[in-house]
Amino acid sequence: MARGQIEVETLVALAVVLVIFVGVMLIIGVNGQNTDALRQSQAAQKECNEVAAIINYFGANQNEERITIQLSQDANVYTDHFSVGGISCDFFANALEGELKQGGISIYESEGVIILENI
């Protein structure tokens, strides 16, 4: 074998290893993004269910209690459902429509209407 042939074969082998490495890294990156998106969706579903349950609680038990929770992202309140992170949850009480910013929110009942507001 000639020295030049060995160098060419070495370069080809290195190119193949590099292509495999890049392919594996791309697969890992895509799977990581999918995992992050799934984690965010699950967190939004948990927050949505929690807020809807609190609204239903106030709808069934009219009292002067106030509950404070944290939202990890902006949300919207409609008269019959709550939406956060593209996830929507229905509730069976009358809520005041509005937009909520990420952070702490206070939930309470006033004259038969459930109010959610940023604190």
Q: Output 3 or 99, whichever has higher pLDDT.
A: 99
* pLDDT reported for residue 1: 56
Strands 75-77 and 98-100: antiparallel
**pLDDT band, residue 57 (cuts 50/70/90):** very high
User: Where exactly are the structural domains of the chain?
Assistant: 3-118
In the predicted structure, residue 81 carries a pLDDT above the cut 60: yes
Q: What is the mean pLDDT of residues 25-50?
A: 84
Task: pLDDT band for 88, please (50, 70, 90 cuts).
Answer: very high
Is this prediction's pTM over 0.75? Answer: no
Local structure of 89: helix, strand or coil: strand
Nearest 5°: CA angle at 69, between 104 and 118? 35
Q: Are 40 and 84 in contact (CB under 8 A)?
A: no
Q: pLDDT at position 2, please? A: 61
Arithmetic mean of pLDDT over the chain: 88
